[in-house]
Chains A and B, each alone.
Chain A
Amino acid sequence: KAGVTQTPRYLIKTRGQQVTLSCSPISGHRSVSWYQQTPGQGLQFLFEYFSETQRNKGNFPGRFSGRQFSNSRSEMNVSTLELGDSALYLCASSRNPRDSYGYTFGSGTRLTVV
């Protein structure tokens, strides 16, 4: 079966712009989570969606937002980009929020802010 698909793989944006990243979960998975990975801070939880509802949110400013569609695909948006937003953004999906065994990561979108 197809894995978690994240698009685009790479992105270069300038400060002040906004960006939208996409995540298509494994078929049948309805829970999607987002993480930011940086060399300095490591992997940090951004938010989690299940059945189009945000269930959990990490400690990130309001410039970071997300949503989930009825087909379980999810997008995250970062507005007013800052240099510090440069990171690898990872998406993970599972059947439901209790499915820790099936929790599967995508390859990520590498965002560079210049």
Chain B
Amino acid sequence: AQRVTQPEKLLSVFKGAPVELKCNYSYSGSPELFWYVQYSRQRLQLLLRHISRESIKGFTADLNKGETSFHLKKPFAQEEDSAMYYCALSEYSSASKIIFGSGTRLSIRP
């Protein structure tokens, strides 16, 4: 079954500490992986895609096909990173039928 698992509902770290939001997936085929973010009172928005291999706002995510993981990392957390983060997948190079994880609320303590 196609599934995205985010094991942590809440992650709380101090400002300046490293952050890792975990994401594991189950998909029969070649998926495209995403991280979406929703800041307080804002729309759900794309943070990054695995095929872009980019760093956005200091965040990076590497696709590990062997472990079927796509963890989101940032070396030094900032208070403005506090938000809800969703890992998601779709069929490769497709925006159709995106499957979302349950989300992790990241809280950065000053």
Contacts and interface: CB of A to CB of B under 8 A. Distances in A.
A and B: interacting chains: yes
Interface of A: 3, 31, 33, 35, 42-45, 48, 55-56, 58, 90, 92, 94, 96-108
11 contacts: A31-B96, A42-B100, A43-B103, A48-B96, A97-B94, A100-B32, A100-B49, A100-B95, A101-B52, A105-B43, A105-B44
Nearest to B101: A42
Given A42-B101, A100-B32, A105 B45 contact: yes
Contacts of B86: 43
Interface of B: 32, 34, 43-46, 49, 52, 86, 90, 93-103
A96 B96 CA distance: 9
B48 to A, nearest CB: 10
A90 B96 CA distance: 15
B95 A103 contact: yes
Which of B43, B93, B103 has the most A CB atoms < 10 Å from its CB? B43
Given A42-B101, A42-B103, A43-B100, A99 B44 contact: no
Given A33-B96, A100-B49, A100-B93, 4 more contacts: A33-B98, A42-B102, A42-B103, A100-B34
Of all A-B residue pairs in the complex, the 9 with the closest CB atoms, nearest first, are: A43-B100, A100-B95, A105-B44, A42-B102, A56-B97, A103-B95, A94-B95, A97-B96, A105-B43
